[in-house]
Amino acid sequence: MNTAKALVYKMTGKPLEVLAAEEISLEEPKANEATVAMEAAVIHPSDMGMIGGTYGRLRELPAVAGREGVGRVVAVGSGVTEVAVGDRVRMPEDAGVWREAITVPASELCKVPADVPAEQAAMAFINPMTVWRILHDFVELKPGDWVLQNAGSSALGQCLVQMAHALGLRTVSVVRNVEKWEPILKSLGGDAVLAEEKDSIKKIVEIVGGKDNLPKLALNSIGGESAARLTRMVSFAGTIVTFGGMVGDLIRFPTREFIFNDLRLRGFWMDRWNREATPEQREALAETIFDMMRQGKLKMAVDAVYSLDEYKTAIARALEGGRNGKVLFRGNVA
């Protein structure tokens, strides 16, 4: 029996305290099975939540960490027709992707185009798909409409700016450091960048050309006062979709906005959409994202790439503020 290195946690807690690099068993592929070697895997805040025990869906312990990544098929058992050696596939999420390799039923593997760079393909399944669904599932938007977001400097925020631009939508991104992020977001197709402060409520009216043009849709991934501020920056009957809570603070109930502005607060969880969607719907969405990457309409920023052996440095970097892009793990396959 072979072994493969994996980042394992046997109890929930702070990632740097409970994660460990271990050699775990790697079975040779039997009939209808395939072995996949990891090419690239992503570190997300949701990974930290899962390791910490606060995420909406937790794994049975002990568990291998990581939710998003791609790999190459390096061996197949008899009877396998779904994939072939050399194919790029998505690493099976539920088993944990921060590992060198895994052997699974071939029927569970989803092919990934080889003409999309591995680092970009590895980041295609969570943030871009979340943005696409939020832009299409809550409010009917037309070209020229404004979309508002906080955490505009985040990886998902940069993704939103690019996707909205490709769809003919205009964006207002709220950030902490305008001087740093305004040129970056505008280079990606963003239209306006605002500071995370009270005056932003007045400034957005000027930017969009009057209260009648305020955004019908806002994306919240921070919570607390930042989210409360969004409630005063959207149009009548505006919708705010929450999909994250970076600060963990409670959102003050915006009574006035509910009564006089018919505000709608919604939530979105990509995991639930994936579980409820058909395989055809998931495949179509993935192909949409890959096509945008091929055309250069979507490029996800990479801050740093580390080996699994360097996981402590990688996790520490992922937890730092001020990054421009995701931290990734790289595998041992070319």
Q: Supply the residues annotated as catalytic.
A: 55
Q: Cβ-count burial of 310 within 10 angstroms (0-12 exposed, 13-18 middle, 19+ buried)?
A: middle
**Count of beta carbons in the 10 Å neighbourhood of residue 296:** 9
Answer yes or no: are the C-beta atoms of 90 and 50 closer than 8 Å.
no
Answer yes or no: are the C-beta atoms of 318 and 310 closer than 8 Å.
no
Chain centre distance of CA 51: 17
DSSP strand E in 10-86: where?
19-26, 33-42, 63-64, 69-76
* Encoded tokens for 141: 């938007």
Answer yes or no: are the C-beta atoms of 90 and 109 closer than 8 Å.
yes
* Virtual torsion, Cα 95, 98, 101, 107, nearest 10 deg: 30
DSSP strand E in the chain: where?
2-9, 19-26, 33-42, 63-64, 69-76, 88-90, 101-105, 146-149, 170-175, 192-195, 217-220, 239-242, 264-267, 302-306, 326-330
Answer yes or no: are the C-beta atoms of 92 and 103 closer than 8 Å.
no
Tell me the three state secondary structure of residue 30: coil
What is the identity of the amino acid at 279?
P
Closest CA to 76 of 34, 31, 32, 30: 34
Helices (H) and strands (E) in the chain, counts: 12, 15
- Which residues, including other chains, have CB under 8 Å from residue 329's CB and lie 6 or more apart? 38, 40, 41, 42, 43, 66, 69, 98, 305, 306, 307, 308, 311, 314
